[in-house]
Structure 1
Amino acid sequence: MKTNSSVHEDDSAVHNDFSTTIGALILSLVFLLGVPGNFFIVWSILARIKRRSVTTLLILNLALADGFIMILTIFFIIYLAKQRWIFGEPMCKALFYLCNTNMYASIFLITLMSVHRMVAVLFPRKLSYLVTRKMVRRIIVGMWMLVMVIAIPSLVFRKVIEVSDDETNHTKWICAPNHSLPRHVRFQYAFETVSGFILPYAVIITCYVLILKRLRQTKFRRHVRSEKLILAIVVMFGLFWLPYHVINMVQVAAEWYPEDSDTRKILDDIHSDSRAVTSALAFISSCANPVLYTFAGKSYIKKNGFAFMAKLFEGTSSEQTENKKSRNMNKIGVRSNDSNNTLPTCEQTVTHQVS
């Protein structure tokens, strides 16, 4: 039933046996690791940490978003395995909408972590004034409202479509993009890549350039290690989402060429053959963080057992208390003779104690 430009891309996720098989295997692994891993993080923070710092609140929201979307991967595993959609149109729209919401939420939360790190390093004495837990909670609520709005295109441009099955000579139903005009394709995927990858990463890179520049201006360069955990989260997210956004741009580029051109056919083949695998790789980023935290907190495992994750995050829980102490010391006239010497003390109040 290929009647418009949307249908050329409609079976991009399920028409290639090799691509769908690899995608299903990746998603199965992601499900097995991601669901228990992310909810273990949630349990560690809610049950083991009484005073939750800004960074801990952001990590909690990231784990909730990733854990929830990991549960939904079971539907996509079945979709790829059967190569047909059996859950109806409401679920088709809802599941892809939730996936896009999670993508935006993840990168925005990581961006907020990076901005918080930058403020902590550049303005350590003012951190408790500039960044409070109450303000961060409001920002997080606002962020969730924002991502639910900007993910709407994935809800609008998605529907269940009937297509022919070349192997059986019958028709089948698939959950596919539904773009009636080429400009709809260009808008959705360009908007998704710019707002969900390029702009946030520009902010993240700017933050870390300023952080490293500040740290290198001091003689306490060993504190660069304190940024490694969040930096690892940033890099991991970028590595697994980059292929997905590259394919987005390939699909956008294809829409600029006539349908009968050789370049258009090549670009269409690239994005249709790669979509299932790159989408599955993107899901890996949601189960990668628990693995990173486990490696970061491995020195606590033997001593603290299942509480090791909470121990890893404990360093961030004292930041408000320590900042208040620092502020009170300033009020009674305690001053450092060397301005550079203030950085380690303030750094210790706002960074992870990662061994």
Structure 2
Amino acid sequence: MTASTNEEDSPVSNDYATAIGTLILTLVFLLGVPGNLFIVWSILARTRKRSVTTILILNLACADGFIMALTIFFIIYLAKQTWIFGAVMCKGLFYLCNANMYASIFLITLMSIHRMVAVLFPQKLYLISRKVVTRVIMGMWVLVMVISIPSLVFRELEIEPDVSENNSRIVCSPNHTWPTHVRFQYSLETVSGFILPYAVIITCYVLTLRRLRQTQFQRRIRSEKLILAIVITFGIFWFPYHVINMVQVSKICAMSFDQINVSLESCRAVTSALAFLSSCANPILYTFAGKSYIKKNGLAFMAKLFDGTASSEQTASKQKESAGEMNNILNNSATATMG
């Protein structure tokens, strides 16, 4: 444990920011834990047809539900404005949060890639078996655990003076010995956890929409709208966090960087809490997507939604294959006639 000499160099030193952060995280805990558990139960116990999209959503719900359960520790941290859980939990909890960030965006990216393949190359969908999907997801989780290591290394307990109460507080804060450590960690988070995945996602959707406009089968299936909503929601809630990262990395105003750094660190309690909101937003999105099933199916409405997603993916694939077969028949007939 080290001593900190700056009065306001941690996210919990700002009373206003910690109050907002505590309120947001409490809302996240109350909505996110039961919401994501309901998704997991719906898929495992009630869903009959498990498409690739459904399997990815299951993994996303498991990751989000687990991290939502851990928010209780951060609520206590912000409320008490001091860390009471020890050094191991300090490193471990922030490591798991960082891993969840990567896992969420990578799973969303895989959903977008799968939608693109389903539209552009439906004849290749048979190659994407459940065994292949399982191996890809396992590889993704290994990658997530590896690239989250910096958040484990650059995190430790510090003693920070609290002049207002003539006392001191223990904070769990980043420990960047050199400026290069700051640039490395925050650049890795933003580039690997936001910029690159979103570049892939946008590319997938541009190619998908272009193909849909070229084909006669332009019926927008339910899973496509649902995935697009998940992508947009994740971006909205994580964007402020990554803006803070990039401002700290770039050091916009070198002359007054210390003051900027203090302000940014004070904002982290709020931006980090907003990022947590993305994990409890998905159950709400699924509820809106499946609202047409609620009256008829009751608590099974979400399972019905996922069954419908699987059916629509299979239908879209069959339609595209039928179109290809029809084109081949017409081309063969034309060739025979000309012959």
TM-score (norm 1): 0.86
Instruction: Pick one of 4, 20, 45 that aligns with 1:47.
Output: 45
- Residue 109 (structure 1) aligns with: 107
| 1:156-167 correspondence to structure 2 within 5 Å | 156-167=153-164
Which residue does the alignment assign to 1:335?
325
Residue identity matched to 2:292: S
1-structure distance, mates of 2:210, 2:199: 16
Question: Structure 1 residue runs of 4+, over 3 Å off?
Answer: 1-4, 7-11, 219-222, 316-327
Unmatched segments (≥5 aa) in structure 2: 330-339
Report whether the alignment pairs 1:141 with 2:138: yes
User: How high is the sequence identity, in percent, across the aligned residues?
Assistant: 68
1:278 equivalent among 268, 271, 283: 271
Q: Distance in 1 between matches of 2:6 and 2:265?
A: 9
Q: Distance in 2 between matches of 1:136 and 1:70?
A: 25
Number of the residue aligned with 1:190: 187
SS where residue 207 of structure 2 aligns? helix
Comparing 272-281 with 107-116, which one deviates more in the overlay?
Answer: 272-281
Please report how far the alpha carbon of residue 321 of structure 1 lies from its aligned counterpart in structure 2 after TM superposition. Answer: 7.0
Gapped runs of 5+ residues in structure 1?
Answer: 340-355
**1:251 positional shift:** 1.4
Q: 2:116 aligns to what?
A: 118
Checking the alignment, whether the CA contact within 8 Å between 1:11 and 1:174 is kept in structure 2 is: no
Tell me the residue number matched to 1:171.
168
Instruction: Name the counterpart of 2:93.
Output: 95
Higher helix share: 2
Q: In structure 2, do the counterparts of structure 1 residues 102 and 44 end up closer, same or farther at CA, with 3 Å as the change threshold?
A: same
Following the alignment from structure 1 to structure 2, what is the Cα–Cα distance between the partners of residues 296 and 254? 42
- Partner residue of 1:348? none
CA shift, 1:317, in A, is: 3.4
Using CA pairs below 8 Å that are at least 6 residues apart, which structure has the higher relative contact order? 2
Distance in 2 of aligned mates of 1:269 and 1:172:
17
* 1:111–1:278 distance in 2 versus 1, CA, 3 Å: same
SS in 2 for 1:161: strand
Q: Partner letter of residue 183 of structure 2?
A: R
Q: Per-residue deviation at 1:272?
A: 1.8
Answer yes or no: is the 8 Å Cα contact 2:2–2:157 preserved in 1. Answer: no
1:292 match = 285
Give how far 1:52 is off. 1.4
In the alignment, residue 295 of structure 2 is paired with which amino acid? K
2:43·2:54 contact (CA, 8 Å) conserved in 1?
Answer: yes
- Residue by residue over 1:60-86, the C-alpha shift from the partner in whole angstroms, topping out at 9 and shown as x without a partner, is 000000000000000000000011000
The count of residues paired between Structure 1 and Structure 2 equals 329
Q: Per-residue displacement from partner, 1:117-164 (whole Å, max 9, x unpaired)?
A: 0000001122112x1111000000000011000000000000011110
Partner of 2:55, secondary structure, is helix
Contact 2:3 2:160 in 1 (8 A): no
CA contact (8 A) 2:49 2:306 kept: no
Q: Is the 8 A contact 1:38 1:63 kept in 2?
A: yes
Question: Contact 1:10–1:161 at 8 Å: present in 2 too?
Answer: no
Over aligned residues, Cα RMSD in angstroms? 2.6
- The answer to whether the Cα contact below 8 Å between 2:7 and 2:162 also exists between their aligned partners in 1 is no
Cα displacement (A) at 1:269? 3.3
SS of the residue corresponding to residue 336 of structure 1 reads helix
Bigger shift: residues 267-276 or 40-49? 267-276
Once residues 179 and 232 of structure 1 are traced to their aligned partners in structure 2, the CA distance between those partners, rounded to angstroms, is 36
Q: Distance in 1 between the 2:328 and 2:227 partners? A: 29
- Scaled by the length of structure 2, the TM-score of the pair is 0.90
In the alignment, which residue of structure 2 is the partner of 1:201?
A: 198
Partners in 2 of 1:320 and 1:252 — Cα distance? 42
Deviations for 1:262-310, whole angstroms, at most 9, x for unmatched residues? Answer: 2x13421331221110000000000000000000000000000000000
Write the distance in 1 (CA, Å) between the matches of 2:107 and 2:66.
15
1:305 is paired with a residue whose SS is helix
